[in-house]
């Protein structure tokens, strides 16, 4: 069973720090990435699926209040484009860059792209 996209109910979103965030194009790709992440030890509770206008609002809320620079701005711009085109954004809790890289590598096997990791002192684009 796949995770359903999170609906915007004006809930608080976790802060950007400690997350890997990226995109997949289809529900099938999204489901495959989630299965790959589960196999790599990431629980469903550490993964959020964003889609459509609701996803844009949630992603924007997640990025608000942060002091991130160009990487966050670029991710938000890409997120609006991706989600407007019916694609999916995945946000995954990652303790450090190594976990962020594990997320990006798992996602890349199934069409995941544009993954970035946002850490304590830095952010890094991990995939194209």
Question: pLDDT by residue for the chain (128 residues), tens digit each?
Answer: 478 899 889 888 888 889 999 999 999 999 999 999 999 999 999 999 999 999 999 998 887 765 567 777 888 899 999 999 999 999 999 999 999 999 999 999 999 999 999 887 666 566 67
Residues constituting the chain? 128
Q: What pLDDT, on the 0 to 100 scale, is given for residue 122? A: 67
User: Which CATH number describes the domain made up of 19-125?
Assistant: 3.30.70
Q: How far apart are CA 94 and CA 107, in angstroms?
A: 14
Q: What is the pLDDT of residue 65?
A: 64
Domain layout of the chain by residue ranges: 19-125
Name the residue among 118, 105, 122, 87 with its Cα closest to residue 42.
Answer: 105
The pLDDT of residue 81 is: 96
Decide if 118 contacts 73 (C-beta within 8 A): no
């Amino acid at each position: 069973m796949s995770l359903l996209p999170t609906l915007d109910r004006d809930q608080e979103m976790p802060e950007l720090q400690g997350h890997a965030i990226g995109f997949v194009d289809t529900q099938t790709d999204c489901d495959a990435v989630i299965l790959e992440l589960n196999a790599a030890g990431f629980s469903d509770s550490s993964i959020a699926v964003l889609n459509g206008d609701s996803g844009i609002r949630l992603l924007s809320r997640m990025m608000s209040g942060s002091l991130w620079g160009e990487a966050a701005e670029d991710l938000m711009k890409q997120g609006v484009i991706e989600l407007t085109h019916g694609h999916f954004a995945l946000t995954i809790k990652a303790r450090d860059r190594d976990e962020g890289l594990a997320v990006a590598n798992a996602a890349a096997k199934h069409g995941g792209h544009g993954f970035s990791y946002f850490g304590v002192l830095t952010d890094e684009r991990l995939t194209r």
